[in-house]
A and B are shown apart, each in its own frame.
Chain A
C-alpha cells in the first residue's frame, strides 16, 4: 500500500529544458517521483515527494528545484517557538529528524 501525504503541497519543480536525461534523479529519489520519458526526466506524481532535496542537489544541470526540509511537526514547532527555520532538535534521536 502506498502512503501518500497531503495533496498539491510539494514545492517540487522540474525544468525539462535543462534536463539532459542522466537519470540520477531516478536513482536518488526514495519515492520514485521521477521516470525517464524519451530521454528526459518527468514527474510521475508530485504528491509522493517528501521534499528531501536529493534530486535537486544531485542534478548536474540544476534542472530541479525543491524547497528542502524535514516533514516533522516537532521541528516546525521548535522553529516557530525559537523564531528560526524548522529545526530538528532531536539530536541523537535515531527515529526522527
Chain B
C-alpha cells in the first residue's frame, strides 16, 4: 500500500507572507557558516501564500528554511499553495539525490494535505532540481497530479509563470559561477579549520612558525582558492586543481620563508598534498561532478596525495639527520 492513503482530516493550511525579513537574512548567514544547521527546518505540510483560490498554482518544495524562504519571497505579489515536503531540513538538490525529496514523499504529502479538495486543477510545479528524486509519470499514476518542472532558480519563477509554465534553456541550467562557488567556501573552510588550525597552533608552539604559516596557507588554498579560481586552475581534476593551488600558496609565501630550494621543495610536496586533499572535497559542493568521475579521480589521487605527503616528510626528516 502506498504511504498516506488513509489520510485523516487534514489541518487547514497555514498562512504565510512573501516578505524577506532581517531574521531571514540572519538565518541565511548562519547557515552559510554552518552555525546551528539543525534548526533550519520548516514544518512540512501545505501553506497558503496570500489568499489562494482553487485555481491558484501549487508549488512543492523542501523543508529547508533557505529553500522555503527563496520560494515564498520570489512569489511576491502572487497567491499560491506551497506544499512543503519533509526532506529532513535538507535542500531540494541534495534531498532529491538521496530520494527524500522524491516520488513517495510527494505522493504522501499530496494525499495527506488533501490538496485534491483544495484545488480545481491537477498540476503541481516542482523545482527542476527535485527531478533526480521524482518520477513525474509515477506521481501522475499514484495521485493524478501532473508534475511540471519549474526553473532551477526560484527567482525565475514569475517569468516561468508569465511564459505559461515554460522555462527557457537558460532557466534550466545549473550554474557554478564565482558567486555560487564563493558562497560555498565558508563551509569548506570551517570544516578543515577544525583540524588544521589546532595543527598550525601546535607547530607554532613547537617553534616551527614557518610551517604554521604554510599549514594555514594550504588550508586557504584548498578551501578558498580552489572555489574562487576553479575555472582557471589547471586540469579537470579537482585533486590537480587543489595541488596547483597549494603549490601557488607555497610559492606566494616563499619570499617570506628562510628556506633553501631543498627545504622548499620538500614542503611544497607536503602542503600541495594537503591542499589537493581539501580541493578534492570541493567536488561535493560543485554542481557538475559525477560519481564515476570522483571515483576515478580518487583511485589515482588518494595514493598520490599520501605518497607526496610522506615523501615530503621523509625528505625533511632526512635533512635533519644529515
Contact = CB atoms under 8 A, between A and B. Distances in A.
Nearest to B302: A77
A91 B294 CA distance: 20
Contacts, number: 169
Interface string A38-64: 000000000011111110011010000
A29 to B, nearest CB: 7
Contact of B149 (A3, A27, A72, A74): A27
B298 A77 contact: yes
Interface string B83-98: 0000011110110111
A82 interface: no
Interface residues of A, number: 48
Contact of A88 (B34, B94, B173): B94
A97 B292 CA distance: 15
Interface in B19-33: 31
Which 9 A/B pairs are nearest by Cβ-Cβ distance?
A: A69-B291, A72-B284, A71-B289, A97-B94, A54-B131, A28-B131, A96-B284, A30-B174, A51-B290
Interface of A: 1, 3-7, 9-11, 24, 26-32, 48-54, 57-58, 60, 67-77, 86, 88, 90-97
Interface of B: 31, 34, 37-38, 40, 64, 66, 88-91, 93-94, 96-98, 128-129, 131-137, 149, 152, 167, 169, 172-174, 176, 183-184, 187-188, 230-231, 236-238, 280-281, 283-298
6 contacts: A6-B290, A57-B133, A58-B131, A71-B294, A72-B281, A76-B295
